[in-house]
Amino acid sequence: MTLYDVVIIGAGAAGLAAGRMLYESGRSILILEARNRIGGRIHTNTDFAAIPIEFGAEFIHGDHAVTMDLVKAARLHTIPVVRMGNLRWSDGKNPARPLTRLPDPLQKTLTAFLQAYEQLPQANLPQDVSLADYLRGGGWSGNDLAAADVLLAQTCCASIENLSCHDLIREMKADTAGHGESRIREGYDKLLNWYRADYPIEFNSPVQEIHWGNDRVKVISAGHIYTARTCIITVPISILQNGSIRFTPSLPSDKQWAINAFRMEAATKLIYRFCERLWDENLTFMAHTGLTARWWTPSYSRGEDAVIACYITAERAQQIDGLDETTALEIGLRELSTLLGIPLSELQKGVLAYKRLSWAADPFARGGYAHVPPGMAECRPLLARPEASQLFFAGEATAYDTNPQTVHGAIESGGRAARECLSRALIV
Ligand SMILES: Cc1cc2nc3c(=O)[nH]c(=O)nc-3n(C[C@H](O)[C@H](O)[C@H](O)COP(=O)(O)OP(=O)(O)OC[C@H]3O[C@@H](n4cnc5c(N)ncnc54)[C@H](O)[C@@H]3O)c2cc1C
């Protein structure tokens, strides 16, 4: 039986990053992946439109994100996209308009709470509170908080009432990626295909059991037993929470506390392809407080195609997931008609294809990405902590020293776990 230096569980961004570092340092590794593909919550589709469409992660967040260096090394290209700086807002009755064309009080309110959010790291908050309570302290309520939920909490795949300020502050201080955003012109999958090194990956291999604590780790998947000196676990927190991987012996109680502390909410995209672009070419981001709260344009700056997408999370995504697909897509089209100021019949005539993507229904993701409720901010470093110099933890939820919830956070967490594994597990 082969004895690996490291078995890595999961071939998403974190697992591939850990794999690459360990492989390049000459260790024998194996990745066990439940799906039949690499990428996990990065999933580029090439059938829906002439351009690659991101069913999962779409943007690179930050001009200095580690992902940017990889894009350059892989000789791929990015398309810069300004979203918040180019926001168009709708009151739900009128078409979405740039902030400068909104009524004065609304313009001031939106600008002010976005500034209050930016100032969060300077806030004096000895007790952790929710983002909603922090903003309430600044005098916002009612419709203002509803708007903040759309513009701030939806991005974090959370409700504004359940988002820890201490965790947000930690992230804002730790993330050095900067502010610019972009898409990868060729698609995220091209980056991962380049990034993946020449190590073995067993696909269709969901791990069910991990035996640890002796001098070897035994990983059991679909009746096969894999033996290694160490193991790096990169599966989403939802998979650790639902107990589909059994640890023998059980994980320490504080680790189990950390696992249970996270919340992972639904994340859903509604994507539409039209026969021609029915919106002006500068449109990058529209939002309102309706069910389909946030919209953007995957075909922005590409010319060839006309694709627009709604991305919602948490309760909104749950509601949309609870409808049949056709009804969900019709609601999207109806709200889009208001946002664009185009008759519904015209949109219905022009739409060529549409699709709903529900990540909560994906058995190996079971949601979008993890967030931390108020009072639980210690859970990230605890989740990341190695156990017995034998089990190492990576994945976006563990990214306490960078920006979790992102691809670059996942990649950095994989690198961190690989370094810990090399330095602590003495696999020389
Ligand atoms: C809809 C959506 C939009 C997003 N948009 C962005 C964005 O624009 N920009 C951005 O930076 N980030 C975005 N993200 C977040 C980003 O996708 C994730 O943070 C990142 O991809 C997570 O990588 P990971 O390796 O930690 O986890 P994953 O990608 O989930 O990888 C874990 C792997 O483990 C596998 N697995 C699960 N269970 C088992 C098991 N029992 N045995 C073996 N393998 C298993 C899974 O199949 C998966 O391949 C988005 C996420 C979603 C869902």
Q: What is the CATH number of the domain that holds 243?
A: 3.50.50.60
User: What does the pLDDT read at residue 208?
Assistant: 98
Q: Is 149 among the domain residues?
A: yes
User: What does the pLDDT read at residue 427?
Assistant: 56
Spatial contact of 401 and 174, defined as CB atoms under 8 Å apart: yes
How far is ligand 1, taken at its centre, from the CA of residue 191, in Å?
15
pLDDT digits (tens, 9 = 90+) for 91-139: 999 999 999 999 998 899 899 989 999 999 999 899 999 999 999 999 9
Asked if 8 and 60 sit in the same domain, the reply is: no
User: What does the pLDDT read at residue 1?
Assistant: 80
Q: Is 410 among the domain residues?
A: yes
Atom of ligand 1 nearest to the CA of 236: 30
The residue-averaged pLDDT of 386-412 equals 97
Asked if 139 and 276 sit in the same domain, the reply is: yes
Asked if 257 and 270 sit in the same domain, the reply is: no
How far is ligand 1, taken at its centre, from the CA of residue 23, in Å?
21
The pTM of the full predicted model, rounded to 2 decimals, is 0.97
Least confident of 241-245, 278-282, 303-307: 303-307
Residue at token pair 């005539």:
349
H or E element, residue 336: helix 325-340
User: What does the pLDDT read at residue 197?
Assistant: 80
Q: Is 326 among the domain residues?
A: yes
Asked if 231 and 118 sit in the same domain, the reply is: no
Asked if 152 and 109 sit in the same domain, the reply is: yes
Pick the last residue of a domain from 330, 347, 367: 367
Asked if 132 and 69 sit in the same domain, the reply is: yes
How far is ligand 1, taken at its centre, from the CA of residue 245, in Å?
17
How far is ligand 1, taken at its centre, from the CA of residue 36, in Å?
14
Distance, CA of 51 to CA of 57 (rounded, Å): 15
Question: What share of the chain has pLDDT > 70, as a percent?
Answer: 99
The residue-averaged pLDDT of 274-299 equals 97
Mutate to test the pocket of ligand 1, among 71, 235, 247, 412 (most ligand atoms within 8 A of CB): 235
Asked if 113 and 258 sit in the same domain, the reply is: no
Pick the last residue of a domain from 367, 382, 406: 367
- In this model, does residue 425 exceed pLDDT 80? no
Task: Give the count of alpha carbons within 13 A of 107, CB side only.
Answer: 8
Query: For every residue of 136-194, which 3-state class applies, written as one string?
Result: HHCCCCHHHHHHHHHHHHHHHCCCHHHCEHHHHHHHHHHCCCCCCEEEECCCHHHHHHH
Asked if 104 and 245 sit in the same domain, the reply is: no
Contacts of 288 (CB under 8 A, 6+ apart): 89, 90, 91, 92, 96, 150, 335, 338, 339
Asked if 34 and 143 sit in the same domain, the reply is: no
Asked if 223 and 176 sit in the same domain, the reply is: no
Asked if 150 and 283 sit in the same domain, the reply is: yes
Q: Is 60 among the domain residues?
A: yes
Distance, CA of 195 to CA of 125 (rounded, Å): 41
Least confident of 32-46, 119-133, 181-195, 414-428: 414-428
Pick the last residue of a domain from 318, 352, 367: 367
Asked if 278 and 355 sit in the same domain, the reply is: yes
User: What does the pLDDT read at residue 198?
Assistant: 87
Distance, CA of 283 to CA of 334 (rounded, Å): 18
Count of domains forming the chain: 2
User: What does the pLDDT read at residue 424?
Assistant: 76
Q: Which domain holds residue 310?
A: 46-184+266-367
How far is ligand 1, taken at its centre, from the CA of residue 414, in Å?
12
Contacts of 24 (CB under 8 A, 6+ apart): 197
Q: Is 254 among the domain residues?
A: yes
Least confident of 187-191, 197-201, 219-223, 276-280: 197-201
The residue-averaged pLDDT of 151-161 equals 97
Q: Is 191 among the domain residues?
A: no
Q: Is 190 among the domain residues?
A: no
- Joined together, the tokens standing for residue 300 give 């922005």
Single-letter amino acid, residue 391: L
- In this model, does residue 19 exceed pLDDT 60? yes
- In this model, does residue 254 exceed pLDDT 70? yes
Q: Residues with beta carbon inside 6 Å of ligand 1?
A: 9-15, 32-35, 40-42, 56-59, 61, 206-207, 234-236, 239, 244-245, 267, 269, 359, 364-365, 368-369, 395-396, 405-407, 410
Q: Is 189 among the domain residues?
A: no
**Nearest 5°: CA angle at 296, between 315 and 173?**
70
- Joined together, the tokens standing for residue 125 give 């908050």
- In this model, does residue 164 exceed pLDDT 90? yes
